[in-house]
């Protein structure tokens, strides 16, 4: 099994207790990669921020001047469900891992959505993490209604397999 590196950093102090969230979040990300048959060890960088921070990035990278819950920055243009084909130049020479992509999550938005949907912050953050990794792997719910059904069905399947349900303990 590939050893992935998932780095979580907080851009703003006091957003949440990262140590309480990280184990389940990382478990979901690793399971997503396994579920999608990603055999190459990958690096994924996760930045936790607030609505102001994500709004700035959303405006800069997508020309949408409003906060959102998660932004995904895939490093490759992948086709969903197909094996990742990379050469040695795409791999980090020190670690041998593939930089799959970056994600930015607004913890402020995630807290509001968790409250709105009546589930835990951990569940919401895991949902957003899985959602983002699927984007990095080429899934895009914005292409068509069918793509949206596939993307969201995979998210629920993965979260359920990881034991992350809407009834999960609240944090």
d(CA 55, CA 66): 5
Q: Are 103 and 71 in contact (CB under 8 A)?
A: yes
What tens-digit pLDDT sequence spans the chain (171 residues)? 578 999 999 887 777 777 778 899 999 999 999 999 998 999 999 999 999 999 999 999 999 999 999 999 999 989 988 888 888 888 888 999 999 999 999 999 999 999 999 999 999 999 999 999 999 999 987 776 887 898 899 999 999 999 997 765 544
d(CA 137, CA 152): 14
d(CA 2, CA 14): 32
Provide the 3-class DSSP secondary structure of residue 57: helix
Max Cα distance, the chain (Å): 45
DSSP state of 36: T
d(CA 136, CA 153): 17
Please list the residues that pair with 42 across neighbouring strands.
98
């Amino acid at each position: 099994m590939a050893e992935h590196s998932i780095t979580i950093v907080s851009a703003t102090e006091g957003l949440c207790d990262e140590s309480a969230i990280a184990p389940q979040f990382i478990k979901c990300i690793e399971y997503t990669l396994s579920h999608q048959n990603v055999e190459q060890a990958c690096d994924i960088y996760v930045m936790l921020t607030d609505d102001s921070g994500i709004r700035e990035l959303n405006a800069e990278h997508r020309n949408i001047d409003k906060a959102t819950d998660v932004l995904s920055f895939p490093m490759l243009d992948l086709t969903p469900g197909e094996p990742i084909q990379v050469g040695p130049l795409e791999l980090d020479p020190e670690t041998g891992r593939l930089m799959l992509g970056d994600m930015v999550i607004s913890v402020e938005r995630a807290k509001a959505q968790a409250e709105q949907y009546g589930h835990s912050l951990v569940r919401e953050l895991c949902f957003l993490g899985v959602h983002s990794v699927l984007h990095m792997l080429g899934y895009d719910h914005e292409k068509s209604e069918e793509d949206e059904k596939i993307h969201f069905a995979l998210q629920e399947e993965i979260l359920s397999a990881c034991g992350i349900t809407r009834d999960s303990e609240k944090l």
